Structure 1
Amino acid sequence: MASSLTRFLPARFRKNEVVIPVVRIHGAIMAGGGPLRQTVSMAAVAPLLERAFANKAAPAVAIQINSPGGSPVQSRLIHKRIRDLAAEKNKEVVVFCEDVAASGGYMIACAGDVIVADPSSIVGSIGVVSGGFGFVDLLGKIGVERRLHTAGQNKATLDPFKPERPEDVEHLKSLQLDIHKVFIDLVKESRGARLSDDPQLFTGLFWSGGRGVELGLVDRLGDLRSVLRERYGPKAKPVVMQAKRSLFGTRPGGPGILADPAALGGGAVEALVSVAEERALWGRYGL
């Protein structure tokens, strides 16, 4: 009975317990969000990180990642915020990869001093991808005339309703190379000598957690509870940071079609397209 009541005592009376704040980063990474999806962005994650690192007694902060990637900008912003807070608060960061920590998800994982994965986790995918659809012939078939007016000859670059121009594709590829270099440099700076010299490392391929250890993308295999107890003692207690609830009892960024009235009207179409984009990100890794 006494042990069951311990959790209700103030922290100063539970001196043997080592609390490790846990921040969960789950979902596709993109600015904003939608009524039908739960996404990851700097705006959504920052308050949780601030609260986790504010725990003065905690020797470390754990980050749980389950993300197929998404926005390189949001990914890098989250990575930088984690590293800045770790330096400011003098905390170790232990990252745990769940089903997938790939592309932007792996970029965030590189903020960890230690990266832990399950043998079946998917990690890596250090590359940049852009996708879209072409509707060049669609409008004519349904009897719709396309009217587009621009100031600037390249303002309508890669317009999906116009034939693709080689110079537009070349510009996009150049942009991708710039972003890819930023990603590669970040991984090299984070992982350093732990990385292998495998020529496939930065080609966009992804691997299992076990293979990730061999390549230096991951430090070790394991699970959150066991690894934290091993590193910080048998009294280590992971505590998941929860988003604060709104006045109506919902958490910002959470799913729920009724959370946004626009979903009941024309906004539902846009929301469904967003869901399809997110599913495509997960589907790339067979999930």
Structure 2
Amino acid sequence: MNEQPNWDRSVIEKLAMSALTEQRRARQWRIFFRLIWLLLTLTLLWAIFFRDNEKVDALSSREHTALINLDGVIDSQSDIANKLIDGLEAAYKDNGTKGVIIRANSPGGSPVLSGLAYDEIRRLRKLHPTIPVYVVVEDVCASGCYYIASAADKIFVDKASIIGSIGVLQDGFGFTGAMAKLGVERRLLTAGQNKAMGDPFSPVNPKQQEIVKTLLNDIHQQFITAVKQGRGNRLKADPDMFSGRIWIGEQGVPLGLADGLGNVRSVARDIIKADKLVDVTPEDDITRRVARRFGVSLGEGFRSLFETRLF
């Protein structure tokens, strides 16, 4: 008769100890995950507030060539134009910078951002006349990229690099034929006769086409003027110079589109006379990435139905 209460007590004690053990394990796991989150938070804070500062501090007081990468399509999503400007400002702030090389690998992009970078390069060159800015083209520097490059003191290319493409385009599609075959009727209301200009679901309007051509011609003329200002009398007379044609580097040098053959290391070593390279291309921290992505998302939502590009 006395064994039953002892048996119940033993079971209850075991259950209590088991529950206590589980609670301890759960508490340990909670502490572990909180430490992981704390570590991640501290890492993000370091990336946001200290990474760029450490990169600037890493610049050597010894004479060196500052290197900035101009890589990819020039648009608001890549933020290449602003990175280029930030990199130039960082290079000029360092007392050890003897010259700047912009390493170009871009097919072009936005005429607005290309013009912004062009203007800033020329402005900063005037402020720092003793520090030359050279563009070194690797694979391609066409259209909007060449717009930017023409602001530099000199342009160096590989004999097989692609350069030029001094022109402007606006492309799109027309779906009126497909809509007719599918029996789809377009219902569009506007306030302003040119508000739907470039709408791919509406028939071509000759008057609106002329408006677009005028815009493209005006932007093209801005491009031509910038190249002439940047390159000066180095440009040779050629009927195809501003036709949108591309050339390889070996052809571009005699035309004045480039100043000579060279690569990043040879220009730093033989032209700037400072073979130590310091990359000052700005890197995105988490806040800039999120902010830009959010901004680009909003911009995409309001983007018009046609887009003007320099490539």
TM-score range, shorter chain: 0.7 to 0.9
Structure 1: which 5+ runs fail to align? 1-7, 34-38, 254-258, 262-266, 272-276
The CA RMSD measured in Å over matched residues stands at 3.0
TM-fit CA distance, 1:138: 3.8
Deviations 1:225-270 (A, max 9, x none): 012111233x52111124344248xx849xxxxx979xxxxx8xx8
- Residues 1:127 and 1:170: Cα distance change in structure 2 (over 3 Å): same
- Kept in 2: contact 1:25–1:65 (CA 8 A): yes
TM-fit CA distance, 1:74: 0.7
> Which residue is 1:22 aligned to?
67
Matching of residues 144-223 of structure 1 within 5 Å: 145-223=185-263
Partner Cα separation in structure 2 for residue 217 and residue 75 of structure 1:
17
- Residues 1:64 and 1:210: Cα distance change in structure 2 (over 3 Å): same
TM-fit CA distance, 1:144: 5.3
Partner Cα separation in structure 2 for residue 54 and residue 105 of structure 1:
25
Higher helix share: 2
From 101, 106, 119, the counterpart of 1:62: 101
Q: Report the 3-state secondary structure (helix = DSSP H, G, I; strand = E; otherwise coil) of the residue aligned with 1:60.
A: strand
Matched, 1:82 2:121: yes
TM-fit CA distance, 1:155: 0.9
Partner Cα separation in structure 1 for residue 126 and residue 157 of structure 2:
24
- Kept in 2: contact 1:18–1:232 (CA 8 A): no
Partner Cα separation in structure 1 for residue 266 and residue 187 of structure 2:
61
| Percent identical | 42
Deviations 1:185-235 (A, max 9, x none): 1111111111111111111111000100010000000111012111233x5
Partner Cα separation in structure 1 for residue 284 and residue 113 of structure 2:
23
- Residues 1:10 and 1:243: Cα distance change in structure 2 (over 3 Å): closer
Partner Cα separation in structure 2 for residue 246 and residue 161 of structure 1:
41
* Higher mean displacement: 56-65 or 137-146: 137-146
Structure 2: which 5+ runs fail to align? 1-56, 302-306
> Which residue is 1:246 aligned to?
285
- Residues 1:40 and 1:221: Cα distance change in structure 2 (over 3 Å): farther
Matched, 1:123 2:163: yes
- Residues 1:9 and 1:82: Cα distance change in structure 2 (over 3 Å): closer
TM-fit CA distance, 1:112: 1.1
Q: Report the 3-state secondary structure (helix = DSSP H, G, I; strand = E; otherwise coil) of the residue aligned with 1:236.
A: coil
Matching of residues 26-105 of structure 1 within 5 Å: 26-30=71-75, 32-33=76-77, 39-90=78-129, 91-105=131-145
- Kept in 2: contact 1:54–1:89 (CA 8 A): no
Normalised to the residue count of structure 1, the TM-score between the two structures is 0.76
- Residues 1:169 and 1:216: Cα distance change in structure 2 (over 3 Å): same
Moved over 6 A (4+): none
Q: Report the 3-state secondary structure (helix = DSSP H, G, I; strand = E; otherwise coil) of the residue aligned with 2:171.
A: coil
Partner Cα separation in structure 2 for residue 98 and residue 129 of structure 1:
24
TM-fit CA distance, 1:100: 0.7
Number of corresponding residues = 245
- Kept in 1: contact 2:59–2:94 (CA 8 A): no
- Kept in 1: contact 2:67–2:278 (CA 8 A): yes
Q: Report the 3-state secondary structure (helix = DSSP H, G, I; strand = E; otherwise coil) of the residue aligned with 1:45.
A: helix
Greater C-alpha radius of gyration: 2
- Residues 1:244 and 1:105: Cα distance change in structure 2 (over 3 Å): closer
> Which residue is 2:268 aligned to?
228
TM-fit CA distance, 1:143: 6.4
TM-fit CA distance, 1:107: 0.5
Match for 2:64: what amino acid?
A: V
TM-fit CA distance, 1:142: 5.6
